[in-house]
Structure 1
Amino acid sequence: MMKYQGIYDNSPIFIQNFMATMYGYKIKKERFGEYYYEHLDFLNSFNNFSKKKQEEQQFEEVMKLIEYASKNSRFYRELYKEVNITEFKNINDLTKLPIVTKEMVRQNIEDIITIPKGKAIKSNTGGTTGKSLTVYYKKEDNQRRMATLDYFKAIHGFMNIKMKRATFNGKHIIPPNQKQKKFWRYNVAIKQMIYSSFYISEENIPYYIESLNKYKPESIDGFISSIYDIASYIERNNIKLKFIPKAIFPTSETVTQEHRDVIERVFNSKIRDQYASSEGAPFVWECESGKLHYDISTGIIENIENSNEILITSFTTYGTPLIRYKIGDSMTFEDNNTSCDCGLKTPLIESIQGRAVDFLYSTKGAKIYLGNVSNIFKNIPNAIAKAQLIQSSLTNMVVRMVVDNNFKEEYKSMLIDEIKHKFGNDMRIEIEIVEEIPREKSGKYKLIVNNVVTR
């Protein structure tokens, strides 16, 4: 991976566009195949089912997953040895199964997975606790997840692959030593202009706006904080846009009311939020009426007793089964009898309490938000139990980590390289291996601590 990154970083921009496109064709082949189109057809049928039939389908799917995991995963076979699954009659019987934590998955991943790693599609998550985790998808899992995401977007008028999209994410598409003010690369394979979120600053935003006006995307997706910073600049400077996207699809971060007000006003387009995860959580997505629907065709979301914290069971994680998995997020459900004007019969979510809108700074002063910072740990194998990044100035950062016996000295170099790509080559980084990282006075644990004094 680092070898190809080096080749990419030292190539001219037109070659980088070519490499992004070649990678795009690889991903396109993985995501858009027979299972993708088969699942799109299923979703069209499912959303026309009666509420009762949808719930029957959900129970049928969860039993299929539990039976598969019990048979094909050493971890679940052992975990469920005292449970008589054949006696389960409805969704409520799921509470008879033990809760699975993120640490359990991280420590037992070899016994959990049901497929050879060589044939799997890997998904890495850094998470907002800094706990590195890799899960392994079957091809079917991956394509069905993509079909669900595209079905959601199609409801709002955007047809993925067929229409142009602009994406703001944390990919390493801009070399740290680049001098040109071109902070984007084009993936021809899926008509996607990828914008780096690491260089969004007052100085650079005009270049982003110029590119957007030239490209005229039909949707915008990615980090809401990046999209907001650009929208705020446009509004403050009374800049005219030459396009109207069909919708804005944020990822990874909590959408605040301020985000929604400014972005919708500037782009003259609706934000349509959705919740999922790198691990493969069931989907929650926003309908045309602005309500959040929990898509029961993709899994089960349940509250832990006497709290809003959720457990997830996903129907698209057969490679790494996640059943009653404690993902670390919280949701508040609306009354089960509440209906929505959009006509969908799936349950409604009142609110999602998840990722905070915290940030650190790049060495040039651009804000690097929490959802982006957590990606630093994505490519590190399952060896980090907890991490914290502490920034004291624009050019100084301390990384504290609690690691296990699988941690190798070479991972430090990998982390430093990831951080420099995101924050700048001139960032001075000190890595500390510690026994424990203390929580805040509030009892909360923070992945990032921003001690930079700005004027």
Structure 2
Amino acid sequence: MHDLYSLLDKHILYPAYYWKAKDPKLKHLKMLEKRQFWSTNQLQSWQLERLQAMVTHAYQTVPFYRELYRAAGIKPEDIRSLDDINLLPCVRKKDIQEQGDAFLSSLYDKSTLVADASGGSTGMPTHFYKDKEQYQRRAADQVRHDRWSGWDLGDPYALIWGAQKDLKAISSLKQRIVTQYIHRVMPLDAFDLTPEKMSRFADVLEKEQPPMILGYANALLAFAQYLSDFRPHHTIRPKGIVSSAEALTDKNKAFIQDVFKTKVLNRYGSREVGLIASECQHQKGLHINADNVFVEIGRFGEQVDEQGQVSDPEQMGAIQSRIPRLCNTDESGELIVTDFWNYGMPFIRYRMGDEGHKLPGFCDCGRKLPLLGQVSGRVSDFIIAMNGTRIHGEYFTHIFYDLADVKQFQLVQEKVDQVDLKVVTNGERFAQEEFVIKEIKKVCGDEVNVNIVQVEHIPPTASGKYLFTISKVA
């Protein structure tokens, strides 16, 4: 019966739903499936075409890019090859945080765009917009990469997630029906991982046996740890597990694979530009989503002149400091991403704030998409509530998504009943203390003492990472 319904959903219900919604997701998916096997020459020709189109559009219709490129002495016609992309100054999260509306294209009415926000790896909320077509295309991206796990359209899958913007769609009756019978999602809120809820979730997964489990890296680890401790003889056997949204260490990956007796596929992306790279079952590296984003690895403040000398960062001008030295294969640096599809609010040479490196060669799977090595993304601790519940660090990031005056935060749990919150604002006095304390106590417990301190700067750790949640009791 399960196989019969999967076939019915894949070939009739799923296509009918998207046809009625006038959403070209499946049309995009069909092209994506072809492009992943394109030759390198085909792929690079496609990338250059998309890059030239986006740069021309941004120069003509987006105030921020027009001013930036004029200051750099660059015009769209200067981009004649993919190598010419390094003529373009890079964009920082700070630019978007400070000049958000200047990134919007004049061809789009802001009210027609999809608003979103990201906490990033620094604890600094970034607010941005996506146009409808980009939103639909990136949904198709995920389906292509999800299929690499062994899952397919029509199959159910388990989701251990915490982004309320993603989960809230399940709240309405219509979306609950779509979620359950079309997309066939079995959700578990990563922000509320109580033993009781994990037990009920395990019961569902043992009964339904979804081919894929998708989730936050640390939430997957917490669920795997629960099964190892309390249900070591469980029979949950997905074809693949996809870990996303956080850095996945080799140690944790091996543990999750051992608990579920299946492969864990690492995935890297961001809310700003969507899916960037994913592993397939061969696990030879993360396939860059190269027909939809252009990924570079670079180092800033290390430009090399014609004599091969590294420039003094203090002597660089404002524009020159935005031009990185591009890294060689296997050399680690900061990821820089260009989204080919968000014409409503272009992201061109967007600095991700995460470190990674490209790998040589191609995967044994036959896809010609270039490979990315391990990415050191965001790091966050679970916070322990008064009742013992483990609260995913992402919960606290989402509190600040709609607080535009907050530039950065860091939450430190000194004791179970003591939380210290450091906040960096735009210069004004932090006026949302009551709201933030209420949201923290909602999950940690009314007895928790929340101490909020407004500071000018939050330094990184010795490793260079910004930890937006730290628990000294977890």
**TM-score interval for Structure 1 and Structure 2 normalised by the shorter chain:** 0.7 to 0.9
**What secondary structure does 1:319 align onto?**
coil
Confirm whether residue 318 of structure 1 aligns to residue 343 of structure 2.
Answer: yes
Cα distance in 2 for partners of 1:88, 1:313 equals: 14
* Identical pairs, percent: 27
Instruction: Determine which of 289, 292, 295 is the counterpart of 1:298.
Output: 292
Per the alignment, residue 221 of structure 1 pairs with 214
Given the superposition, is the C-alpha separation of residues 30 and 352 from structure 1 closer, same or farther in structure 2, using an over 3 Å criterion? farther
CA drift at 1:30: 12
User: Mind listing any 5+ residue stretches in structure 2 that lack a counterpart?
Assistant: 1-13, 166-175, 299-324
- 8 Å contact kept, 2:120–2:270: no
5 Å matches for 1:12-411? 33-81=22-70, 82-114=73-105, 115-160=108-153, 162-171=154-163, 187-188=179-180, 190-201=183-194, 205-281=198-274, 283-291=276-284, 292-304=286-298, 305=325, 308-335=333-360, 338-356=361-379, 358-378=381-401, 380-404=402-426, 409=431, 411=432
Count of matched residue positions in the alignment of Structure 1 and Structure 2: 411
TM-score normalised by L of structure 1: 0.82
Per the alignment, residue 450 of structure 1 pairs with 471
- 8 Å contact kept, 2:378–2:467: no
Cα distance in 2 for partners of 1:397, 1:100 equals: 34
Given the superposition, is the C-alpha separation of residues 386 and 286 from structure 1 closer, same or farther in structure 2, using an over 3 Å criterion? same
Given the superposition, is the C-alpha separation of residues 50 and 439 from structure 1 closer, same or farther in structure 2, using an over 3 Å criterion? closer
5 Å matches for 1:417-428? 417-428=438-449
**What secondary structure does 2:96 align onto?**
helix
Cα distance in 1 for partners of 2:100, 2:55 equals: 17
Cα distance in 2 for partners of 1:441, 1:104 equals: 26
Given the superposition, is the C-alpha separation of residues 91 and 414 from structure 1 closer, same or farther in structure 2, using an over 3 Å criterion? farther
CA RMSD of aligned residues (A): 2.8
Q: Which amino acid aligns with 2:437?
A: I
Given the superposition, is the C-alpha separation of residues 402 and 32 from structure 1 closer, same or farther in structure 2, using an over 3 Å criterion? farther
User: Mind listing any 5+ residue stretches in structure 1 that lack a counterpart?
Assistant: 1-24, 174-184
TM-score normalised by L of structure 2: 0.79
Once the two structures are superposed, what CA deviation does each residue of 1:382-424 show, in whole Å capped at 9, x if it has no partner? 3211111121221221221111168872x43443343234434
Per the alignment, residue 10 of structure 1 pairs with none
Cα distance in 1 for partners of 2:33, 2:409 equals: 42
Q: Which amino acid aligns with 2:258?
A: R
Q: Which amino acid aligns with 2:158?
A: A
- 8 Å contact kept, 1:172–1:422: no
Cα distance in 2 for partners of 1:166, 1:441 equals: 37
CA drift at 1:215: 4.4
Cα distance in 2 for partners of 1:440, 1:359 equals: 17
- 8 Å contact kept, 1:133–1:381: no
- 8 Å contact kept, 2:379–2:466: no
Q: Which amino acid aligns with 1:345?
A: K
Q: Which amino acid aligns with 2:390?
A: K
> Greater shift after overlay, 435-444 or 79-88?
435-444
- 8 Å contact kept, 1:130–1:384: no
CA drift at 1:155: 3.0
- 8 Å contact kept, 1:169–1:372: no
**What secondary structure does 1:339 align onto?**
coil
CA drift at 1:204: 5.7
Q: Which amino acid aligns with 2:292?
A: T
**What secondary structure does 1:261 align onto?**
helix
Given the superposition, is the C-alpha separation of residues 273 and 346 from structure 1 closer, same or farther in structure 2, using an over 3 Å criterion? same
Cα distance in 2 for partners of 1:281, 1:45 equals: 20
- 8 Å contact kept, 1:170–1:375: no
**What secondary structure does 2:374 align onto?**
strand
